[in-house]
Structure 1
Amino acid sequence: MGRALAPLPVNPTFLSLFLLLLHLISPFQPVEALGFQFSTFDPSADYGALEVKSPALIYNDALQLTPDSSSGTVDFMNKSGRILYKQGFKLWDGPPEAPTKIASFNASFVINIFRINNGTPGEGLAFIVAPDLNLPAGSFGGYLGLTNATTDGQTSNHLLAVEFDTFKQDYDPDANHIGLDINSVESNQTVPLADHGFDLAPNHTVFFHVWIEYDGGQELLEVYMIDEDESTPTKPKPASPIMTASLDMSKVVNQNSYFGFAASTGDNVELNCVLGWNMTVEELPKGTPAGLVIGLAVGISAAALAVAGVAALGVWAWRRRAAARDPNIVGTLKSLPGMPREFKFKDLKMATGNFDEGNKLGQGGFGVVYKGVLAAENRQVAVKKFSRDELKSKDDFLAELTIINRLRHRHLVPLLGWCHQTGMLLLVYDYMPNGSLDGHIFCGPERQTLEWSHRYKIVAGVGCALHYLHEEFDQIVLHRDLKASNIMLDSNFNARLGDFGLARAIDDEKNSYAELEGVPGTIGYIAPECLHTGKATRESDIFGFGAVILEVVCGKHPWRRAGFDGFQFLADWVWSLHRDGRILEAVDGRLGGDYAVEEARRLLLLGLACSHPIAAERPKMPAIVQIRSGSMEVPRVPPFKPAFVWPSAGLLSEDGDTTDVTPMTSSSRFGSGWRSRDVSKESDAGYNDSSPV
């Protein structure tokens, strides 16, 4: 037995401070997060990540949990299905009888429950935490794909679910409620939705955005919910939950469990669709938590306590920094091909004067852009700081970075690097000394108007950039937000296309991209077919390019509430002048006649050709490049603006490329609805946003 040492005196104040420090750091574990994001679903890629239990399938950019009417299946009745993420998650730590830690998680998803032929809906769908990837046999009807007549209510199910029920069973309060299900479809807690103005399965298309948040420390589950139909814009997460429940998850689910969705039909049927899904789960330590355990035993000196205190403080500071750095995002970034350099936050903070307001170049819905100077390199940069809520900022950051990191063209704003530290998401671009194009076209008397040679060169540069995105890159890239405020000018007034926050790359075999939240863009730049299809195409980008051409030549916004001689849209006014043989009267009067007449005429006609209401009639980018250079004539522009035609099938251009303007029907994942989303205030990588909207 060891010899006990006499205790040495310890300063009471130091001991109190040290014990407080121990209290702060001993239970502390860095909040590392695991998770995944599906803004839409692609059967060619997502079957590898998702376990899809038939008759569920990935179809029409959505998870179809029960048979979908547009997939060719006609047998809807008495079906159940599940789709789960294949990777399991550790949800609690320690012995089963006394867990030491329960993981927190956040789920965000969008659902659409659609009545077939406006019939009685049934049965419902559920978000689930399951012990395995199986689908119970006989789980159709009221069992919602969760349990069956034999297993319902058994604690061995280890099943947790939040149900969205559309059919009243004997044990249900009504046919329109959410419920918390633990090992059984007889809910432990229900919330009738009529009291909140919600109808899960109305006679029209409604999307429900749902947030399910579980706090493992407080053992508290909260469900938030909003409805978004075709007439309402995207709404933020509500301030208050629609359901709150105390829940010790460790007493219900397996230590390693799976997240996903389940649904069923019975004698009454419905379409059960999930249109997007983001998931974040707190990562628990794989072994024994590395805590600092110090016994104030007899014989420990004050000096030893001091050394331990300094070491503990260092560990705490290191862990806090690590917690602010999302390992999933960092890992994703470093795995991207051609990824530019990673900047240190302290360098960007110093470069921008701690993101001083005086260095702000522009602000939009996605974030703020600041001017900075990297002292060590004596280089000016533009630093984009994403500022939406945490989940959306990560989406915005990764969406923009994964598009632009591989793009290399002399008419694109160069991306220099990125930074993700202290919880901030930053992109670093080359600084454009002449700012954005709109600042020169729509300028006041204090700034000299942009001369014609610069305007012509700018249109040519934007055309080259768009040709690269559409035709020369190894994927088709749709910019989706072409406008003057997103076109930057370098020191020689060369155009540099920027703001790829809305850009999306599509595979060669595809020709369109559909946005979950509706049609992004700005009034005057959005092609008319997009408002009906909800899809962006190369043709819709060309429509936006036509609007840019006209605003550059005319010096006017493409849309103005006050109008242009009775026309709210610039293209309509220019078309009326073309009809009357006076098209050159559209040229910016501030030029005072100092412009090349033939160049101006060609650009105005090209702008109208790109603004053609019928997508298939717009010129392609290879032709546009030749038209601008003078090697090809401008296509004939009719004297009267043609009417927009919404065809019943996609129009084919000469090379067989469809414009993808097929209208959506009730059999599609969106039902019969479409939504338009104006993001004129969400443009920020262009440094400033002077949209009239």
Structure 2
Amino acid sequence: MDVEYKDINGNHVGLDLNSVVSSQAADLGGLDIDLKSGNVINSWIEYDSSFGVLNISISYSNLKPKNPILSVSLSLDQYVNDFMYVGFSGSTQGSTEVHSIEWWSFSSRSGSGSGPTSPPPSTATTLTNPTADSVKSPPPLPPSSSSPSPPSSSCHNQLCREGPGAVAGVVTAGAFFLALFAGALIWVYSKKFKHENKLGQSFASEIIKSPKEFTYKELKAATRCFDANRIIGHGAFGTVYKGIFPENGDIVAVKRCSHNSQGKNEFLAELLIIGTLRHRNLVRLQGWCHEKGEILLVYDLMPKGSLDKALFEAKTPLPWPERQKILLGVASALAYLHQECDRQVIHRDVKTSNIMLDEAYNAKLGDFGLARQVEHDKSPDATVAAGTMGYLAPEYLLTGRATDKTDVFSYGAVVLEVASGRRPIETGKAPARVSGNLVEWVWGLHKEGKLLTAADAKLEGCFEESAMRRVLLVGLACSHPDPLARPTMRSVVQMLVGEAEVPMVPRTKPATSFSTSHLLLTLQDSVSDYNGIVTISSSSSENSYIGLDLV
């Protein structure tokens, strides 16, 4: 959803005609379709030039729905040329997401007569993507509104002259292929059953020490068959529903895994990690369910919702004492993950929408779908950078190697967000002299000696200036471009409670720089799969530049 472009919500289909503002839009919630679910979604876009009608249909199924979700009277003559390109594009608007086209087909038929009722020719042009064969079940082409032309008489007569022998041959061949198909189908399903059974046994053995196992029937009833109206959030690779158990009235949050292998792997990783963690500032896992090919996690429901909603959507501003308590709670949770667990846990997605609040505004860090466990004092493996723009450390974007220091940078962005009441990446028209990047903006104010002007105006000055200055300096210290200069989360806790002084934060933001030898070592694993050239260059200006060309 983008308010600037007048979108109706964040789950809709819209028709854009020479403008990013949709001329027509329809809410997908009415079809119980969630674009952020991670499920494969099929769409049909059909245009009938005879009637000047454009129909759009959306479904999880491969079968086109009887009724389109959007039907628009339109003359495409105003918008198309004789030669056009068909393409796809995706935008994340500051978030990290995965967009993919798994199968597509384009078919065009044109009338041959002078009138609009002339029948179409018997041939049609169809363009498909070269990877369509790799898809197990592509959606079928939309059926033609006209009946196909009859076969020619020569073909019909030839079939008749072949006699009963030809018919018997056809029947025999058909029976053979039917038997072959049935055998293949049985083999596939047996393999799938064995795989799911093996996965279930492995799953159960891995989490036998975890909390309660729920039945699928219980969670389905609690969420009213996973009703779209019960959706309260979207986490990494899953959707979160509000659940109410009919027998006792207990209210929980049920996280439903995305129906793909990546989503299930992330859920399993989340369960294995959070199932072993115990801290007052982490969301508590009540239990799990693995039935009918689904993985479901059950958490305590936080009545105050997420921190980002408390900051930006609440009717009354979040008071300063509650903000301080929340920041201290998140810092305590990260100190536990980084330094107090048997195996260090890197969260990789620390942001305000993943910080939940209980009835007393105690912070609970959640959503461990991107978290990774590593041995203490060991270098983590390089991966594709994951998370949300505005919270990602510069070295993480460059190398894909997440460490406890990348979590510290994300926490620094959260601190500045809570203190200033501004999002890490400002969208739309920002006020004068306000950069789109929150961290850069606060660094600029610090350079000008106006650090306290970063305080949230909605607080109306209801805070101690010394406490606000301390929090802002902690945020800048955690947002230092050099990861080695960032404090540990244990020392951050000490700073926030006044047991330690905030380290000296330079007035001018230090340049982001990496030594060539260090960068090559850290990037060795990341670029080992590329057959190309890595070029590194730098300048003598204040901000160093590093260019990477992977060919």
- Fold match (TM-score > 0.5): yes
* Kept in 2: contact 1:665–1:671 (CA 8 A): no
| Structural mapping, 1:175-574, within 5 Å | 236=100, 238-239=102-103, 240-241=131-132, 326-336=197-207, 338-364=209-235, 366-389=237-260, 391-443=261-313, 447-515=315-383, 518-561=384-427, 562-563=429-430, 565-574=433-442
Compare 581-590 and 234-243 and name the one that shifted more: 234-243
Letter in 1 for 2:522: T
What SS does the corresponding residue of 2:510 show, helix, strand or coil? coil
**Cα pair distance change 1:355/1:233, threshold 3 Å:** closer
Partner of 1:576: 444
Cα deviation, 1:167-207, whole Å, max 9, x if unaligned, reads xxxxxxxxxxxxxxxxxxxxxxxxxxxxxxxxxxxxxxxxx
Could you say what secondary structure the match of 1:514 adopts?
A: coil
Structure 1: unaligned runs, 5 residues or longer: 1-231, 249-280, 286-319, 652-659, 675-693
Q: CA deviation at 1:534?
A: 1.1
Q: Secondary structure at the match of 2:295?
A: strand
Mapping of 1:8-157 within 5 angstroms?
none
Instruction: Please state how far the C-alpha of 1:540 moved relative to its aligned partner.
Output: 0.6
Q: Secondary structure at the match of 2:278?
A: coil
Structure 1 residue identity aligned to 2:460: G
**C-alpha separation between the residues in 1 aligned to 2:219 and 2:194?**
20
8 Å contact kept, 1:546–1:610: yes
How big is each residue's C-alpha offset from its partner over 1:335-367, in whole Å with a ceiling of 9 and x where there is no partner? 336311110111111111111122110125612
Aligned counterpart, 2:523: 663
Deviations 1:185-241 (A, max 9, x none): xxxxxxxxxxxxxxxxxxxxxxxxxxxxxxxxxxxxxxxxxxxxxxx9966373244
> 1:646–1:661: 8 Å Cα contact kept in structure 2?
no
CA deviation string 1:439-464 (max 9, x = no partner): 011126xx111001100000000000
User: Can you list the C-alpha shifts for 1:355-408, whole angstroms capped at 9, x where unaligned?
Assistant: 11221101256121111112334321000111242x223212212111111011
CA shift for structure 1 position 514: 2.3
In the superposition, the TM-score normalised over structure 2's length comes to: 0.61
Aligned residues: 361
Alpha carbons 2:236, 2:369 under 8 Å: kept: no
Cα distance in 1 between the residues matched to 2:197 and 2:305: 33
Q: 1:648 aligns to what?
A: 516
User: Which structure: greater helix fraction?
Assistant: 2
Secondary structure of 1:384's match? strand
Matched AA of 1:595: F
Structure number with higher relative contact order (C-alpha < 8 Å, ≥ 6 residues apart): 1
State the alpha-carbon separation in 1 of the partners of residues 353 and 450 from structure 2.
Answer: 29
Aligned equivalent of 2:454: 586
Partner secondary structure for residue 567 of structure 1:
coil
In the superposition, relative to structure 1, how do residues 672 and 459 fare at CA in structure 2: closer, same or farther (>3 Å)? Answer: farther
Percent of aligned pairs sharing the same letter: 43
Query: What CA deviation, in whole Å up to 9, does each residue of 1:303-343 have, x standing for no partner?
Result: xxxxxxxxxxxxxxxxx9x8896441343233336311110
CA contact 2:241–2:254 (8 Å) conserved in 1: yes
RMSD, aligned CA: 3.0
Question: Retained in 2: the 8 A contact 1:578–1:639?
Answer: yes
Residues 231 and 241 in structure 2, CA contact (< 8 A), matched pair in contact too:
yes
**Aligned-partner Cα distance in 2 for 1:605–1:503:** 27
Distance 2:335 2:326 in 1: 14
> Cα gap change, 1:418/1:244 in structure 2, threshold over 3 Å: closer, same or farther?
closer
Contact 1:343 1:417 in 2 (8 A): yes
Please state which structure has a larger fraction of its residues in strand: 1
- Please give the alpha-carbon distance, in whole angstroms, between the structure 2 residues aligned to 1:353 and 1:324: 29
1:42-70 superposed Cα distances (whole Å, 9 cap, x missing partner): xxxxxxxxxxxxxxxxxxxxxxxxxxxxx
Deviation at 1:430, TM superposition (A): 0.6
CA separation in 1, counterparts of 2:360 and 2:525? 50
Aligned with 1:397: secondary structure? helix
Aligned partners of 2:410, 2:521: CA distance in 1, in Å? 17
CA distance in 1, matches of 2:531, 2:374: 24
* Distance of 2:351 and 2:271 partners within structure 1: 20
Structure 2 CA distance for aligned equivalents of residues 244 and 667 of structure 1: 29
More divergent stretch after superposition (562-571 vs 529-538): 562-571
In 2, distance between residues paired with 1:597 and 1:499? 33
Q: Which amino acid aligns with 1:541?
A: D
State the 1:672 CA deviation: 6.2
- Post-superposition offset of 1:475: 0.5
Contact 1:648-1:662 at 8 Å conserved across structures: no
Report if the CA contact (8 A) 1:372-1:382 is conserved.
yes
Would the aligned equivalents of 1:563 and 1:569 in 2 still touch at CA under 8 Å?
A: no
User: Aligned residue for 2:26?
Assistant: none
Could you tell me which runs of 5 or more consecutive residues in structure 2 were left unpaired when the two chains were aligned.
1-95, 104-130, 137-175, 177-186, 535-551
CA separation in 2, counterparts of 1:398 and 1:488? Answer: 21
For the structure 1 residues 244 and 465, does the alpha-carbon distance in structure 2 shift closer, same or farther, using more than 3 Å as the test?
Answer: closer
Cα deviation 1:398-453 (Å, max 9, x = unaligned): 12111111011000000111111122221111110000000011126xx1110011
Residue 386 of structure 1 aligns with an amino acid whose one-letter code is: C
The answer to whether the Cα contact below 8 Å between 1:664 and 1:673 also exists between their aligned partners in 2 is: no
Distance 2:219 2:243 in 1: 7
Alpha-carbon deviation of 1:244? 11
SS of the aligned residue for 2:368 comes to coil
Compute the TM-score of the two structures, normalised by the length of structure 1.
Answer: 0.49
CA spacing shift, 1:671–1:639, aligned 2, 3 Å: farther
Offset, 1:661: 7.6
How far is 1:634 from its partner?
0.5
Partner deviation per Cα, 1:522-579 (whole Å, 9 max, x = no partner): 1110100112111111111100000000000101101124456242211111111111
Distance in 2 separating the partners of 1:673 and 1:569: 31
Measured after TM superposition, the shift of residue 472 of structure 1 is 0.2
Equivalent residues of 2:236, 2:367 under 8 A apart: no
**8 Å contact from structure 1 (residues 605, 634) kept in 2:** yes
3-state SS in 2 of match to 1:512: coil
